[in-house]
Amino acid sequence: MAFKKFTPRKKYCRFCASREILLDYKNVEMLKDFITDRGKIIARRITGNCAKHQRVLTTEIKKARQMALLYYTVTHSADVKKKTT
């Protein structure tokens, strides 16, 4: 038992597991799970998404950024602007 390795929980693709989750740029709360606090898209190595869904996810996140539903970077976010002015 001395050398028992730490085994992390198996990651799985959330969108493959449930067809209910709509992968859509309007579903901002869901997209927020896949970006960091700074607004960067989290690698699928970390989230466990499959390649197919990660591809769709990135384009949807980028659409949401275009429409000001998500920020590109924190320094551009409306919250930061409010604090500085």
The H-or-E segment that residue 83 falls in is helix 78-84
The CA-atom distances, in angstroms, between 65 and each of 1, 5, 11, 25, 39 are 49, 41, 27, 9, 10
- Taking CB under 8 A as the rule, does residue 55 contact another protein? no
Task: List the one residue from 20, 68, 83, 84 that touches another protein (CB under 8 A).
Answer: 68
Span of 8-16, 41-49, 50-58, 75-83 interacting with another protein by CB under 8 A: 75-83
Contact 49, 58 (CB under 8 A): no
Shortest distance, position 81 Cβ to another protein, whole Å: 6
With respect to another protein, which residue has the nearer C-beta, 16 or 67? 67
Q: What is the CA radius of gyration of the chain?
A: 16
For the segment 14-33, give every residue that binds another protein (CB under 8 A).
Answer: 25-26
DSSP-derived secondary structure letter, 68 = T
Residues in contact with another protein by CB under 8 A are: 25-26, 63, 65-72, 76-78, 81-82
